[in-house]
Structure 1
Amino acid sequence: MAEKAYHSLLTSLPHIDSLFDSQVTPISRYQLERRLSSLSFTERKLLSKIERLMHWDSAKDDTSDAELIKFATRTREQVNSKVLTELIDWRLDMRTVVAALRHKRAGAGAPSKPRWSFGTRYEFIRRNWNVPYFNLQFTFPWLPDVARYMEADQSFELEQELLKAVWHELDRVETTQRFSFEAVVIYVLRWNLVSRWTTYNNELAIERFDQLVENALGEFAHDLPN
């Protein structure tokens, strides 16, 4: 697509002002897909792969780590943009370091396989397994807070900190982009974050409501039909 076409697409999309203040996504996924249909088939296919790579929470449970690593490697090789390649690497590094924190907290030792995860930091993490924060706290300033929330089993704060870190990274990258495929990708990734946060928030609200009802009803709560 030409820059003019990207300009038309991006200006047709509602502004995403904030993450944590959002109650709903600024545009439905259906409407978003309709706007994105102006992209070429190749662009839409690549965008879909980048979305899955950056937000693969919906990946099948039976997908092995080896399959995911293969998919990550293959998708990254199809990206010709230095901006998007670096963004993908950052996100994969984030996933890897958070996964390493979880494994280490569970008492696991350093991974035995050289290629055990995604991104560019997996070997560095393996070599620095016994060092606090894998010696990556200066590269990822949010890492100590994530580790603290994880240790305290504060899932809400942990989720919020991780989403905030990704949001800030997209903020940083967005300042270098205007009307381009990269800018479209960043918009869609922002939309995904808002969707995830609002869904997570709604699920928590339901849990809180259920807990309040149970506390109010006490022993009679178990006598009610589901």
Structure 2
Amino acid sequence: MKQQQMDYAMLMASLQPHPLSLWDLKNKPASKIHLERRLSLLQDSERQQLEEIVSVLHWARMDNENNSDAKIAAKAERVINSIDNPLLRETIIWRMELRTIMTAIRRRKLGMDAPSRNERWGYGQVVPFIRKNWQIDDFSLSHRFGWIKQANTLFETEQSVELEKLLLNLSWQHYERIGHAHAENQGNVA
């Protein structure tokens, strides 16, 4: 086993298992201090890459005047292109596409026109679908993202707590599926 794989295995083994539901937490999650201590198991380059990933995925770091949709999309592309691990890359792409869909919903509610073909504002395969189907509630993407209509309704009716719960649940469930698939693949390799 490579050192990098050993580092990740040690890190994952040191973290608490998570419940199937985000809302069924019985134990406190690791504090920032404990998490930082555990992340010290990684190489400096891995920690730096993780920080770059967090900078494009953590919503609170994106919501300021210096982070336009275009800057976030450009940074996401740069970060994603720097990642060698296909599972990690796909995970980040999924999250960026979720963010792109929410950005489109926000922009449309603000009365903005569909982004032009040359405008950089989002990330992923969803961008051309959204541009082409701007006037359709779900951007013709419900076949792939069944939650879009609900998210749009919650955003339009300003139910921010319910929208946040929906987005958190979506992320939790997605990461749960990835974890199971990864565990199955690792079991097949062993």
Give the alignment's TM-score, normalised by structure 1: 0.72
- Distance in 2 of aligned mates of 1:31 and 1:22: 18
Q: Any idea what the Cα deviations from partners look like across 1:72-130, whole Å, max 9, x if unmatched?
A: 11111111111121111111111111111122223222112533222231122101112
Tell me: CA distance 1:112–1:4, structure 2 relative to 1, closer, same or farther (3 Å).
closer
- Distance in 2 of aligned mates of 1:23 and 1:61: 38
Give the aligned partner of residue 53 of structure 1: 56
Conserved 8 A contact 2:103-2:122:
no
The reply to whether residue 103 of structure 1 matches residue 97 of structure 2 is: no
Give the aligned partner of residue 26 of structure 1: 29
- Distance in 1 of aligned mates of 2:179 and 2:97: 19
Over aligned residue pairs, what C-alpha RMSD do you find? 2.0
Q: Larger C-alpha radius of gyration, 1 or 2?
A: 1
The reply to whether residue 120 of structure 1 matches residue 125 of structure 2 is: yes
- Distance in 2 of aligned mates of 1:44 and 1:176: 24
Give the aligned partner of residue 62 of structure 1: 66
Tell me: CA distance 1:8–1:62, structure 2 relative to 1, closer, same or farther (3 Å).
closer
Q: Any idea what the Cα deviations from partners look like across 1:138-175, whole Å, max 9, x if unmatched?
A: 11111111112112221111110011111111111111
Q: Post-superposition shift, 1:136?
A: 0.5
Task: Return 5+ residue gaps in structure 1 as ranges.
Answer: 179-226
Give the aligned partner of residue 158 of structure 1: 163
Identity %: 35
Q: Any idea what the Cα deviations from partners look like across 1:198-225, whole Å, max 9, x if unmatched?
A: xxxxxxxxxxxxxxxxxxxxxxxxxxxx
Q: Any idea what the Cα deviations from partners look like across 1:51-91, whole Å, max 9, x if unmatched?
A: 22221422343223332222111111111111121111111
Give the alignment's TM-score, normalised by structure 2: 0.84
Give the aligned partner of residue 18 of structure 2: 16
- Distance in 2 of aligned mates of 1:66 and 1:102: 15
Q: Larger relative CO (CA 8 A, sep 6+): 1 or 2?
A: 1
Aligned length: 178
Tell me: CA distance 1:101–1:34, structure 2 relative to 1, closer, same or farther (3 Å).
same
Task: Return 5+ residue gaps in structure 2 as ranges.
Answer: 184-190
